[in-house]
Amino acid sequence: MRRNHKALHLISRLYMVAVLVFLYAPILVMMVLSFNEGKSRGNFTGFSLKWYGELFQNAEIMQALSNTLIIAVISSLVATVVGTFAAYGISQMNRRSQGLVMNISYLPVINPDIVTGVSLMLLFIFMRMNLGFATMLISHIVFNIPYVILSVMPRIKQMDRHLLEAAMDLGLPPLRAFLKVVLPDIMPGVISGMIMAFTLSIDDFVISFFTTSGVQNLSIYIYSSARRGIEPTVYAIMTLMFVTVVSLLLLINRKSLGRTVAKRTRI
């Protein structure tokens, strides 16, 4: 019995390791190659930061990076403001409309990116808008809003639904009451929604690709440079992107983990 148990334990361990290897080996290889001295993909000829150096010399990459960051910052901020108010509004609806509106808001999340991307492109063209920085920004705001709503909603549901009324009762008009009383209470949901929106914006390729022309973000740059043959500088950017996204994710998880721990200790 006991030996059986041990063997089972070992197998489950190995299984987990195998899964992790499959998941992370490719990224690890890319990260290692980004520090490779030579251009070869086959053998590691020596440690060097030269690709990172080149990366920061490359004006095209730097332009794409700054586009990515500006769009990520603006779109996540705007989506957070819009999404937070939207979530509060939805929470005040009656049950049936609430379900309906939540499903509609949820649709862009499950809709394939390519459908969202192409349809946004068609809409912009239909409205005679020139595809470029502005259209890409608008698209990012649009696809980020539902994620913010989904992240804020559970916090609102946990909240005492009379909080806003209590603040109004004590003399604050509705908007100030919301900012002073409701917002601090749902803040953790708002912050994690904003971080999620930020990472999704940095991540996105498909929707960006269809809703801009001429203006590049990092993912579009990588895609087009890949057709010319991938330079190790690309490994360097991707390593940086990976590290950024992972650290943001860890931040979200630590926030929500901290919350559950706090809850448990309270009980």
Partner 1 sequence: MSNQDALIEIRDVCKLFTDDGDEKQAVDHISLTIRRHEFVTLLGPSGCGKTTTLRMIAGFETPTSGAIYIDGKDVSAVPPYKRKVNTVFQRYALFPHLNVADNIAFGLTVKKLPKDVIAQKVDAMLRMVGLQGYNKRKVTSLSGGEQQRVAIARALVNEPEVLLLDEPLGALDLKKRKEMQIELKNMQQKLGITFVYVTHDQEEALTMSDTVVVMRGGTIQQVGTPQDIYNEPRNRFVADFIGESNIIDGIMPEDERVVIGDVSLDCVDKGFAPNEPVDVVIRPEDIYIVTQSDKGQFKGTVESVVFKGVHYEMQVRDTAGFLWLIQDTSMFAEGMEVGLIVRPEDIHIMRKSDDPNAAVYREEEAL
CB of 21 to partner 1, least distance (A): 44
CB of 266 to partner 1, least distance (A): 8
Residue placing its CB nearer to partner 1 in the complex, 136 or 167: 167
CB of 160 to partner 1, least distance (A): 5
Q: What is the DSSP code string of the chain?
A: -HHHHHHHHHHHHHHHHHHHHHHHHHHHHHHHHHTBSSS-SS----B--HHHHHHHH-HHHHHHHHHHHHHHHHHHHHHHHHHHHHHHHHHTS-HHHHHHHHHHHHHHHHS-HHHHHHHHHHHHHHTTPPPSHHHHHHHHHHHHHHHHHHHHHHHHHHS-TTHHHHHHHTT--HHHHIIIIIHHHHHHHHHHHHHHHHHHHHH--HHHHHH-SS---HHHHHHHHHHH---HHHHHHHHHHHHHHHHHHHHHHHHHHHHHHHHHHH-
Kindly list the residues in this chain that would bind partner 1 in the complex (CB under 8 A): 94, 96-97, 160, 162-163, 165-173, 177, 181, 184-185, 266
CB of 148 to partner 1, least distance (A): 20
Residue placing its CB nearer to partner 1 in the complex, 26 or 174: 174
CB of 188 to partner 1, least distance (A): 11
Residue placing its CB nearer to partner 1 in the complex, 67 or 192: 192
CB of 267 to partner 1, least distance (A): 12
Residue placing its CB nearer to partner 1 in the complex, 57 or 97: 97
Residue placing its CB nearer to partner 1 in the complex, 94 or 103: 94
Residue placing its CB nearer to partner 1 in the complex, 181 or 222: 181
